[in-house]
Structure 1
Amino acid sequence: MSGFDSNPFADPVDVNPFQDASVTQATSRVAESLAGYNPFSGDYSGTTIPVSATSSQPAVLQTSVEQTPKAAAAAAQADLVKQQEELERKAAELDRREQEFQNRTASGNAAPGTKENNWPPLPKFSPIKPCFYQNFEEIPEDYRRTCKRMYYLWMFHSSTLFLNVLACLAYFTTDQNRGVDFGLSILWFILFTPVAFVCWYRPVYKAFRSDSSFSFFFFFFVFFMQVAVYIIQSVGIPSWGNSGWILSISVLGTNLAVAVIMMVVAGFFTMNAVLAVILLKIVHAKYRRTGASFTKAQEEFSKGVLTNRNFQNAAASAATSAAQGAFGQNHQN
């Protein structure tokens, strides 16, 4: 109740904040420390504050290292030398390409703007020259591995046809009535080896190289038939020139060695069929990611036909012949 007894209108009591015990003790310590300090004597006997109490890390002055003119000139000279070496390297590369182009043009091996054929790899003294240009480095990296696999499949295809000739020859030696199979096996080897290269390997090579929709569609059309041919060859219908399973099993009772050879070839034909189906799926998956379509294939075909010089010459010749024939008839009339 003492709080209610005081007069609220009375003057407030002056309170000296410096009369507090803690404040008085702090000010007395500061006075004692300053009393013994003489700025001219160079000797301080008072209490000092350690450095570790004020700062945990010392202040570091960042000094800027200025490059001397001599060092700057040396660095600039090094840059100029490096740029000169790069320019000389590019000039040498351009000279080398120009020299190769002039050599090809002078020898007549290649027309201007074309690349020199390098496949099949034949010796220089051979009268037969390479017919195609092949370089897997010009294939995009995403498709290069698949393109190489297609090339290896073609090589395996050709080797199987050659072994088929040997198997049919062995079969012909045991049965003189099987000359038809031996003759057809030679025909299949001579015919299907280059046809497979031109009709389904080169189209897929061009499709991967230039992302051609027309080449993709042409490859799919031909390769589907190639898979069917592999299946027929692996079956081995008699008198069809294929050392397949049916023909090889029929020889088991007469000659076991020949039957084993023919079974090996039949197994190779089966492997061709299986690998062809697998690679067909892989190529189709990559084709779907390229954005190719049948409409683009039609446009590429029409542009290719209209811009083909042989087609243009043939069309011009046909038009000239038709015009001359019409003029001759009118003149006779």
Structure 2
Amino acid sequence: MAQNRDGGNPFPDSGELDNPFQDPAVIQHRPSQQYATLDVYNPFENREQPPPAYEPPAPAPAPLPPPSAPSVQPSRKLSPTEPKNYGSYSTQASAAAATAELLKKQEELNRKAEELDRRERELQHVALGGAGTRQNNWPPLPSFCPVQPCFFQDISMEIPQEFQKTVSTMYYLWMCSTLALLLNFFACLARFCVDTSSGSGFGLSMLWLLLFTPCSFVCWYRPMYKAFRSDSSFNFFVFFFIFFVQDVFFVLQAIGIPGWGFSGWVTALVVVGSKPAVAVLMLLVALLFTGIAVLGIVMLKRIHSLYRQTGASFQKAQQEFAAGVFSNPAVRTAAANAAAGAAENAFRAP
């Protein structure tokens, strides 16, 4: 070793170097049971005080659970008629429009099928005997009644589907007018019971009930029914003329001119002070007459618009009237007898 030193070895043995870890200042602070780590070592503190007791580090907080994936709701089962979501809003709108168009076409096909079915039943009915063997069903009377029904009426079979609602409304209007006349008769009877000077009004109310009930059915409802059944221009013109007069009477009934046999507003207000109970009944009748008058005007306008859409005309009505007159056996017989008598008189003339 000395030789090496003398030889000038620049790299001495490691054992000869001073070990820095053997320094007494470091050795006395080595970890022990009372002083386990160097984390709490403070070289500037007073060395005479004992080191603080070892405290284990606080446990690390538990890691948060990873965020769970969003729950997927089960898909709702679509109904057969509900359009599915195939993409953008424009695609859904076009699909909805196509579905609505298909539904509209389906309804139109169903309506045409019902119309064809109705016509087929009518043709079968005519083939089996026609109107000669058809049993009348109106008015609906019991079998033991000596008076039998006079008309055959079946709106669902004889009237086209697009006009069935209009014909049914007119039938209900006729029933309401008959009910109003009946209540008008009872109101005039009640007034006559408390005031004998109103006998003329009571008599006229009975006349209106017995006259308007059958005449309104025969004169304006049946022409309207036959006009829609066979698209008859002549029956349309008859209905328009007679029903216009009927609407005028509806308005007069609602007004209630004293002495005319109508329990309208004027007649009801006249007796409201002296006979309150009778006035209440007459006011109800006046309200019913007013509703019938308004509905009659509305239906007249609606049927006139339908008549214009059917392509009917006055010339067509004249042709139907002429054909109906000359096809009548009684008219033809009378015309033949008149022609024969005129010819015989011509030959006998000097």
TM-score normalized by the length of structure 2: 0.61
SS in 2 for 1:169: helix
1:271 to 291, 294, 308: 291
Question: Alpha carbons of 1:169 and 1:325: their partners in 2 closer, same or farther (altered >3 Å)?
Answer: farther
**Letter of the structure 1 residue corresponding to residue 154 of structure 2:** N
**What is the CA-CA distance between 1:154 and the residue it aligns to?**
0.3
The corresponding residue for 1:307 is 327
Distance (whole Å) between structure 2 residues aligned to residue 200 and residue 148 of structure 1: 14
Which residue does 2:318 correspond to in 1?
298
CA displacement, residues 230-282 of structure 1 (integer Å, 9 cap, x when unaligned): 01111111111111111110001210000110111111111110010111122
Amino acid at match of 1:253: G
C-alpha distance in 2 between matches for 1:278 and 1:154? 14
Q: Report matched runs for 1:69-80 at 5 Å.
A: none
Q: Which residue of 1 aligns with 2:339?
A: 319
* Aligned positions of 1:282-297 closer than 5 A: 282-297=302-317
Residue 255 of structure 1 corresponds to 275
Q: In structure 1, how many angstroms separate the alpha carbons of the residues matched to 2:236 and 2:128? A: 33
Report Cα offsets for 1:15-61 as digits up to 9, x if no partner.
xxxxxxxxxxxxxxxxxxxxxxxxxxxxxxxxxxxxxxxxxxxxxxx
Q: Point out the more displaced range, 117-126 or 200-209.
A: 117-126
Measure, in 2, the Cα distance between the counterparts of 1:128 and 1:284: 36
SS of structure 1 residue aligned to 2:312 = coil
Q: Which amino acid aligns with 1:240?
A: W
Partner in structure 1 of residue 141 of structure 2: 122
Alignment-mate amino acid for residue 120 of structure 1: P
Alpha-carbon spacing, 1:97–1:214, altered in 2? closer, same or farther (3 Å): closer
State the match for 1:135 in structure 2.
Answer: 154
CA distance in 2, matches of 1:144, 1:296: 23
Distance 1:97 1:308 in 2: 23
Task: Report the Cα offset of residue 318 of structure 1.
Answer: 3.1
Q: How does 1:38-49 map to 2 (within 5 A)?
A: none
Which segments of 5 or more consecutive residues in structure 1 lack a partner in the other structure? Answer: 1-92, 102-110
Corresponding residue of 2:171: 151
| Structure 1 CA distance for aligned equivalents of residues 195 and 345 of structure 2 | 61
Q: Is residue 164 of structure 1 aligned with residue 184 of structure 2?
A: yes
Question: Aligned pair 1:235/2:275, yes or no?
Answer: no
Match of 2:69 in 1: none
Match of 2:215 in 1: 195
Q: State the alpha-carbon separation in 2 of the partners of residues 300 and 291 from structure 1.
A: 14
CA distance in 2, matches of 1:322, 1:202: 38
Give 1:326 shift.
Answer: 5.8
Scaled by the length of structure 1, the TM-score of the pair is 0.64
1:183 and 1:203, CA in 2 relative to 1: closer, same or farther beyond 3 A? same
**5+ residue gaps, structure 2:** 1-120
Distance 1:156 1:124 in 2: 26
Q: Which amino acid aligns with 2:282?
A: M
Q: Could you say which residue in structure 2 is the equivalent of 1:220? A: 240
SS of the aligned residue for 1:241 comes to coil
More helix by share: 1
Give the 5 Å matches for 1:2-13.
none
Deviations 1:147-188 (A, max 9, x none): 000000000010000000000001101110111111110010
Deviation track 1:101-160 (CA, whole Å, cap 9, x = no partner) reads: 5xxxxxxxxx87452211111122221111111111210000011000000000001000
What is the alpha-carbon distance in structure 2 between the residues aligned to residue 255 and residue 98 of structure 1?
59
Give me the whole-angstrom Cα distance separating, in 1, the residues matched to 2:339 and 2:269.
Answer: 60
Deviations 1:211-244 (A, max 9, x none): 1111111111111111100011111111111111
Residue 316 of structure 1: CA displacement?
2.5
Letter in 2 for 1:201: Y
Over aligned residue pairs, what C-alpha RMSD do you find? 2.3
Q: How many angstroms apart in 2 are the aligned matches of 1:218 and 1:144?
A: 20
Percent identity between matched residues is 53
Query: Cα offset for 1:304?
Result: 0.8
Q: Once the 2 structures are TM-superposed, how far is the Cα of residue 207 of structure 1 from its aligned partner?
A: 0.7
